[in-house]
Amino acid sequence: MGDMANSSIEFHPKPQQQRDVPQAGGFGCTLAELRTLMELRGAEALQKIEEAYGDVSGLCRRLKTSPTEGLADNTNDLEKRRQIYGQNFIPPKQPKTFLQLVWEALQDVTLIILEVAAIVSLGLSFYAPPGEESEACGNVSGGAEDEGEAEAGWIEGAAILLSVICVVLVTAFNDWSKEKQFRGLQSRIEQEQKFTVIRNGQLLQVPVAALVVGDIAQVKYGDLLPADGVLIQANDLKIDESSLTGESDHVRKSADKDPMLLSGTHVMEGSGRMVVTAVGVNSQTGIIFTLLGAGGEEEEKKDKKGKQQDGAMESSQTKAKKQDGAVAMEMQPLKSAEGGEMEEREKKKANAPKKEKSVLQGKLTKLAVQIGKAGLVMSAITVIILVLYFVIETFVVEGRTWLAECTPVYVQYFVKFFIIGVTVLVVAVPEGLPLAVTISLAYSVKKMMKDNNLVRHLDACETMGNATAICSDKTGTLTTNRMTVVQSYLGDTHYKEIPAPSALTPKILDLLVHAISINSAYTTKILPPEKEGALPRQVGNKTECALLGFVLDLKRDFQPVREQIPEDKLYKVYTFNSVRKSMSTVIRMPDGGFRLFSKGASEILLKKCTNILNSNGELRGFRPRDRDDMVRKIIEPMACDGLRTICIAYRDFSAGQEPDWDNENEVVGDLTCIAVVGIEDPVRPEVPEAIRKCQRAGITVRMVTGDNINTARAIAAKCGIIQPGEDFLCLEGKEFNRRIRNEKGEIEQERLDKVWPKLRVLARSSPTDKHTLVKGIIDSTTGEQRQVVAVTGDGTNDGPALKKADVGFAMGIAGTDVAKEASDIILTDDNFTSIVKAVMWGRNVYDSISKFLQFQLTVNVVAVIVAFTGACIT
């Protein structure tokens, strides 16, 4: 790493003598300096970087790293950095002790009723009021029990307590083993969680825990940042910092205005490159967790020392706890060593006062209360009958009078009657119910893990048993997500197969290769197959992989183009998002002008084209009438074959006509169409049968996709979501919004209720449309019972819909970290069939508990009748 000092990075030293003096471990920055730096924002941070390091390149030099080549991937150097600057994990909070789990188990409503009844019964069994036998009182000793019965009176209460103890211990043990499993499972997931860094000039995927200070990390849309860093270069980068600041607006980041990136924040748009400056407990997330006591024993010792040195620290920590508790709870999973995500999520859910119980929990709690009330009524009737019988028998039939000396004897009679009443109440309560629920849930969750369902919230397992609607993505869930270009329109010719390179003019071929190679994420690539005879490996965005594969099919290579124009030489990038549905990249040309390459949804991008390349590679006008002809003759036939259609275009800007790059609508306009390609993404072979199973089970499956309406309809027909002759709706996002909104643009539930029952396909939809649909179905009151909706999502913007749904499924492979955070269940294989398995196990929970209730309530009803009748007769 010492060679980095001789790298080509330009460095302009400021007049500070200590700048080039090596500090901690030979590095030019101490841990404290970097922590202080990361607490600054905006202009203040830029000023500090300029004063202390000159610029970001100077900071890199001090950290002995290269902004372009990264670290040297030397084991000794990496270990040295971990020793000096810390490792990239936050030790999780200590798991709940067994006694804490026992206490939580005791909070169950059913168990509370049993506990009260047992204590009362046990206490009364030892009660013996003073009183002697008296002829005037009827020659009875208080209670009419023989000595043996009186001595055995405690057994009833003790038996109830014993059953409660058994239930509590088994429940606590199940919770303990479940927590242990979740921690182990989450630990494995976190070990598999990778982040892209540059080492030795090569892009590498390394485990998040392996990141060190000085690493050059690639940041892209959908990432959950695993460490603090300073931006080196950014393309249209926007960050959601709400988890730290509470501000809902996305913050635009750039190297020259606000370069500070913080761990735990979400990348909502764009891409970039940063130098890692703080990891683990030294990052902003880690500092909060240290204050919350989640940083392990070492940090706790440091905190205690700090408290001794400064009494004010304790109050500041208490304040930080209150302010940042919720934030830290959300961010715990990012870098924990053993994976406390499940525990924190469940604790968060338990601590939220407004969080509703799951459907099953709600029903069982209601049932327990109803049974308790019924038992109370029966016990009260029993006591009343016994008291009336005693009073009538003693004072009416036998004609006795109430004597003062007989009061203790009569009181003991009434105490016995009360004990009998408590016995009836105890018999009425189904003491095995909590245990049955716990065992059934634990068993189902374990089985779901084997069926590629990682259950993050236990109640999601039981809720899936009630599912009546599934809103599924298309790409990767219903389809294989292995995309290939199978048709294309180039130079006025529609090719049903890959054209021979000789069939295309050099200009068209050259423009096409450059447009695809440059205007796609440089992390997306096609790698050689792992095994001989296997397919090439697609790494990164699958649509871009299909386009890069198209370049290779044309006997060209994208890598030399990227080496000629590296990512840091890109002048401006408009990254893909769900609103613009396109991606554009600007490069500087040798003559001083600029060239923009753009790709995106064909019917959207073609509207921005005013020219098209003819068979000779020359420009010709592209009028609205020509566009309509192309849509009718080229795009619609491709879409009806189930192909995704992508338009590839470009635009040149002369040297003296540099536009306002922030005005995207002006820049991405007046385009020249190079090609339209049709990309095939085959339906998973097992999906049609899985959807038939859902339909037979009474579950409606809806496809919600960003694809063209014709493509979506064709795929839906292949999957079996829509059937010939059925009365269904296939709508685009615009038409969907037109139907459900009033003149003021407000959503009306009444209008939505007319749309969703028949809706099967929602195409060209945005994440907002998905959220609107899910919310509308859940809020609908048209049926006798409300709909229970499951939703799949993989993108960052799917978060609101995943949270709103009764059960949110995130894609384990293609899903962003943000989507996984918002979900209840993660599909580890991204397969729709796994959702059907989740429904099956959810229903298994219901069936198992229903069977148990049939048995338990039958026993209890008979027992109550016997106890009631026996008590009243004797």
Q: Which residues are catalytic?
A: 473
SS3 308: helix
CA-based nearest residue to 38, from 215, 276, 239: 276
Quote the CA–CA distance of 495 and 594 in Å, as a whole number. Answer: 31
Read off the DSSP letter of residue 586. Answer: E
Instruction: Kindly tell me the burial class for residue 466, based on how many C-beta atoms sit within 10 Å of its own C-beta (0-12, 13-18, 19 or more).
Output: buried
Give Cα 530 distance to the centre of its chain.
Answer: 31
810 within 8 A of 823, measured Cβ to Cβ: yes
Neighbour count for residue 666 (Cβ, 10 Å): 11
641 within 8 A of 678, measured Cβ to Cβ: yes
Quote the CA–CA distance of 243 and 43 in Å, as a whole number. Answer: 22
DSSP string, 265-301: -EEEEEEEEEEEEE-GGGSHHHHHHHHTT-SHHHHHH
DSSP string, 366-410: HHHHHHHHHHHHHHHHHHHHHHHHHHIIIIIIS-----GGGHHHH
CA-based nearest residue to 473, from 481, 465, 461: 481
CA-based nearest residue to 202, from 7, 70, 67: 70
742 within 8 A of 710, measured Cβ to Cβ: no
Instruction: Kindly tell me the burial class for residue 139, based on how many C-beta atoms sit within 10 Å of its own C-beta (0-12, 13-18, 19 or more).
Output: exposed
SS3 522: coil
The kind and range of the H/E element at 195 are strand 194-199
Supply 661's token pair.
Answer: 């790059």
The dihedrals phi and psi of 451, each to the nearest 5 degrees, come to -95, 25
Q: Are strands 537-539 and 572-574 parallel, antiparallel or unpaired?
A: unpaired
Q: Are strands 594-601 and 643-653 parallel, antiparallel or unpaired?
A: antiparallel
Contacts of 118 (CB under 8 A, 6+ apart): 157, 158, 160, 161, 164, 426
Rg of the chain over all Cα atoms, to the nearest angstrom:
35
